[in-house]
Amino acid sequence: MDIKITRASALKDKPDSSTLVFGKAMTDHMFIVDYDAGQGWHDARIIPYGPLQIDPAAKVLHYGEEIFEGLKAYRTADGSIQLFRPRDNIDRLNKSADRLCLPQIPEELALAGITELVKLEQDWVPSEEGTSLYIRPFMIGLDAALGVHSSHHVQYIVVVCPVGAYYPEGLNPVKIYIEEEDVRAVKGGMGMAKTGGNYAASLRAGNRAEERGYSQVLWLDGVHRKYIEEVGAMNVMFKVNGKILTPDLNGSVLDGITRRSCIQLLKDWGYQVEERRISAEELFAAAESGELEEAWGTGTAAVVSPIGELAMGEKKVTVSHNQIGEITQKLYDELTGIQWGHVADPHNWIMKL
Ligand SMILES: *Cc1c(COP(=O)(O)O)cnc(C)c1O
């Protein structure tokens, strides 16, 4: 499908990379393609970045008919630009679409929306250490009617923005609060889909954790309220007695691309990785017996985020002496090395633009 490009008449000033606030400095253009039942995807276009005109009765505004993705474009030392496993993001977008009765989008069309926009906005891809261009593809249901049905008119949109180094002062361990009241997602719900509703469900616990002085929530499963699922909007991994443990993809855990990449690297390095149910009780017991060696979250924004303290009710444990662990650091160095092109890419995860 041809992409029609309408250029912005005036370009914005590019922000200083050192003062970037995540997700605020949107670029000059955006990609949009329409879908109508019976007609399929049509009118792919790149137009000046700006507000969308949406009917107030549009389903996305009332019933949360929305899915999204998050990935980054990286500037390498030779000035070229590359993406990390973008087809995995599109594959996941289509899985989310299936769960929310949104249409499947052809992989090549979804990918072209990303690559053509990034090429047009290439001057926005920053080059300072640790910086990147964050890419946010999303799909919304737009039928203008208040009845609860899946939409026949849908848009797939891509917006991008430069983001600063996630850890300007190095990888600092975070304090995590185990949430025992609210749940993020349940089996049979939308936990495996990347959709706004799961985030809406997570805000209250996030605010509560913050008020208590913790930076993220550790989510327990919605059925037994016992088993660990994710940390904030990241997957979570533990090193216990030399082995790596991570919750299995049980339907309410998001299939993270960073998670998948970490599991592959850990196996390459000879670690045993167990994807299985892990109870909070098991984790605290391991911490108390000194077997919990490291804990970290994984996700595109932070890559890995070391966990230095876990709290549940009145119980508190320190992990890895509140320092970044050896494996956490090694995963961070290897993944960011591949993403920015400093180290070899044995699994063909990189796509050059
Ligand atoms: C996006 C996301 C992740 C991380 O996925 P990546 O593909 O690694 O960025 C984990 N959990 C939730 C809930 C997410 O939305």
Could you report the per-residue pLDDT of 209-248, keeping only the tens digit for each?
Answer: 999 999 999 999 999 999 999 999 999 999 999 999 999 9
pLDDT digits over 174-212, tens only?
999 999 999 999 989 999 999 999 999 999 999 999 999
Instruction: Give the pLDDT of residue 21.
Output: 78
Closest residue CA from atom 3 of ligand 1? 234
Instruction: Give the pLDDT of residue 170.
Output: 67
Counting beta carbons within 10 angstroms of the beta carbon of residue 79, is it exposed (0 to 12), middle (13 to 18) or buried (19 or more)? exposed
Rounded to whole angstroms, what are the CA distances from 43 to 23, 88, 94?
A: 27, 25, 20
Instruction: Give the pLDDT of residue 19.
Output: 80
Q: Residues lining ligand 1, judged by CB closer than 6 Å?
A: 70, 194, 230, 233-235, 254, 256-259, 298-300
The best mutation among 300, 335, 338, 339 to test binding of ligand 1, ranked by most ligand atoms within 8 Å of the C-beta, falls on 300
Instruction: Give the pLDDT of residue 169.
Output: 64
CATH 3.30.470.10 spans which residues of the chain? 4-163
Distance CA 231, CA 219 (A): 6
The best mutation among 254, 260, 264 to test binding of ligand 1, ranked by most ligand atoms within 8 Å of the C-beta, falls on 254
Q: State CA 340 to chain mean position distance.
A: 18
Question: 4-163 — its CATH code?
Answer: 3.30.470.10
Distance CA 327, CA 245 (A): 13
Question: If you search the block for the tokens 């923005």, which residue do you land on?
Answer: 161
Q: How many whole angstroms from 144 Cα to the centroid of ligand 1?
A: 30
Q: For the chain, how far is it from start to end, CA to CA, in angstroms?
A: 19
The neighbour count for residue 56, using CB atoms within 10 Å, is: 8
Atom of ligand 1 nearest to the CA of 70: 9
Q: How many whole angstroms from 232 Cα to the centroid of ligand 1?
A: 9
The best mutation among 96, 166, 186, 234 to test binding of ligand 1, ranked by most ligand atoms within 8 Å of the C-beta, falls on 234
**Segment holding 287, helix H or strand E:** helix 280-288
Which of these, 337, 320, 56, 11, lies nearest to 172 by C-alpha position? 320
- Against a cut of 0.85, is the pTM above it? yes
Instruction: Give the pLDDT of residue 164.
Output: 87
Residues in the chain: 353
Q: How many whole angstroms from 6 Cα to the centroid of ligand 1?
A: 33
Backbone angles phi, psi at 16, to 5 degrees: -75, 125
Instruction: Give the pLDDT of residue 24.
Output: 87
Q: How many whole angstroms from 235 Cα to the centroid of ligand 1?
A: 7
- Sites in the chain below the pLDDT cut of 70: 168-170
Q: State CA 228 to chain mean position distance.
A: 18
Q: Residues 128-156, buried b or exposed e (16+ Cβ, 10 A)?
A: eeebbbbbbbbbbbbbeeeeeeebbbbbb
The best mutation among 235, 262, 265, 336 to test binding of ligand 1, ranked by most ligand atoms within 8 Å of the C-beta, falls on 235
Q: How many whole angstroms from 10 Cα to the centroid of ligand 1?
A: 35
Distance CA 123, CA 27 (A): 10
CATH 3.20.10.10 spans which residues of the chain? 174-339
Is the distance from CB of 191 to CB of 92 less than 8 angstroms?
no
Distance CA 303, CA 85 (A): 14
For 174-339, the fitting CATH number among 3.20.10.10, 1.10.569.10, 3.30.460.40, 3.40.640.10 is 3.20.10.10
Distance CA 315, CA 213 (A): 15
Distance CA 162, CA 350 (A): 19
